[in-house]
Structure 1
Amino acid sequence: MITINAINELRKQINEWKLKGLTVGLVPTMGFLHEGHESLIKRAKKENDRVVVSVFVNPTQFGPNEDLESYPRDIKHDEALCSNAGANIIFNPSPSEMYYKDASTTINVLGLTEGLCGAKRPVHFGGVCLVVSKLFNIVTPNRAYFGEKDAQQLAVIKKMVRDLNFDIEVVGCPIVREIDGLAKSSRNSYLSEHERSAALVLNQSLTLAKEALLAGKNDPAAIKNIITKKLDSESLAKIDYVEIVDSLTLKPVDIINSSILVAIAVYIGKTRLIDNFTFTQGGN
């Protein structure tokens, strides 16, 4: 496995692969990789001849006062994980390699970005769409792999790929959790030991919600109340949002009679964590 920093060098290698008829899988990441990323890489390795993992903390998706500068970085750790998981290349460009100083192009997916995290982070998904579209153009992968923990991001990218006619299959992969249920996240590294214990309330609240849905409850307000009550029981937890939306449109639902996404964002101390699950009444 090799690490490449320059776009031209990466394109040269990709072209050599394509001339041999090899398929390419892309795993876009912001680095500080964990077992969740590892699962994406292994899935990509299984389904493609070659795998590229991008490691790039993308400045355009961070708003003012967010954690761009403090976002955890450890390229040596990332290289070891990628190598062990079967990746062929890490693409680790600098911001100046990815963005021209006078760049003026933006990409926005309307509708899907207005609620959930988009309502709280107004510049976020524009930055995500811009960097992912650039990665797609640079790597020209056959398939690209994203985690379902970032459910809104996955929906937005699928819509962008459709709307812009990218010839790429977007593959969503299941959430990877710690043995105690906490969803894997690079931001978990921010948590103190006490906060790490408190963060378990996210998955616990979602588990209670799923149990209620399985018991036949179909009132979104009642389900949201179950989640909120559990989250409020943890003194370190501050709710950002608790939402139940249609899993395709991401619009709020009045009654649960189709496929839904139950999504939460919660601050544990100063660390913002997200979690979710999808549910189909009668099918889950």
Structure 2
Amino acid sequence: MKLPLRTLRQPTISIQFLLPFPAPFDLSTFLNSTQIHHRHPLVSYSLISLKGRSLYVANELGVPSYVYFASSAACLALMFHLQTLKDHQGLDVTEFANSDAELVVPGFVNSVPARVLPAVAVDKESGGSMDFLDRARGFREAKGILVNTFVELESHVINSFVDGTTPPIYTVGPLLNLQHANNQKQDSSLDVIRWLDDQPTSSVVFLCFGSAGAFHMDQIKEIAIGLENSGHRFLWTLRRPPPKDKMTLSSDYVNFNEVLPKGS
């Protein structure tokens, strides 16, 4: 006997995009406003990993807050570790700049040379380190952190978030833009997939430094020589740096021969 289907009426969910904030902007007043609480009852508040200060405001109002962290879980673990060194061990992390120290970071398989830490994390003069650590403190106030990764890629570091000092970590990646601007880019992407499918398992080195990651000519040359000397197959997303006088993202190269050295 078939059971009758029952139609459930689900409440409408309204998503409010708060960024960019007008200046001056009072987040507390906005979240507590009549418009939000009466026309659109607020059930949670999510933000991209910028400033953690707004998390404190949301918590004061009893609104569950979540952070979307666009970088890797390893980057998040490093942020939390440096913040712990500062707040619980009293270390001045800016002293790691140009240091030969080796850091044992929870979730990392190998120790991390202090000299390869992100420049902003050890930036004392312009306050970059202070802002870096303040964000980590704010992230701890969230009800959860959505990370653009997946367990199979970073299982070791994700399994390290179990000490109860961090919010729950939710892996929601990889988040990909599958809508191509034109057919030429789509055809190029398909060629890459076909090439990868033809390679032996675990034989390709993948280099990707993000949409803002770009290098100067001499750096590109050194990376290219290192890849060639390694003898491994590789896939490299090479980006053109923006002009020095413009605050824009990196862009695609039209001709890679302009920057890549001649291979052997």
- TM-score, normalising length from structure 1? 0.32
Select the structure that is richer in helix.
Answer: 1
Whose radius of gyration is greater, 1 or 2?
2
Q: Which has the higher strand share?
A: 1
Q: Which has the higher relative contact order, 1 or 2, with Cα contacts under 8 A spaced 6 or more apart?
A: 1
